[in-house]
Structure 1
Amino acid sequence: AYGYDKRFGLVHVDYATQRRTVKSSGLRYAELVREHAGRRDGRTAA
């Protein structure tokens, strides 16, 4: 376990205030999920 050393994930946490902020990677992931929402055929959008 990395504890407080490594920073990774989709959300940044300010340990002093416990405030969470979505990172750019989290925004991109949300966009990707929206683009593929409802698809059940296993194909990706062209």
Structure 2
Amino acid sequence: MTATADLVLASHPIITAVPFFVPTFAVVAVVAVIVYRDRRRNPGEDDDQDP
């Protein structure tokens, strides 16, 4: 076997899919932080309650 035949860059489909999922997880994390901060800022105010 030659050196090029032994070189395996991605042996599993998950390894090739990681570059597509990392930005998605980053966007979800940013949205989750924004929602968390927004809920912590106004803990006593609820828009669903009727007076």
> TM (normalized to structure 1)?
0.38
The structure with the larger Rg is 2
Q: Which has the higher contact order (CA 8 A, sep 6+)?
A: 1
TM-score, normalization: structure 2?
Answer: 0.35
Whichever structure has more helix as a proportion of its residues is 2
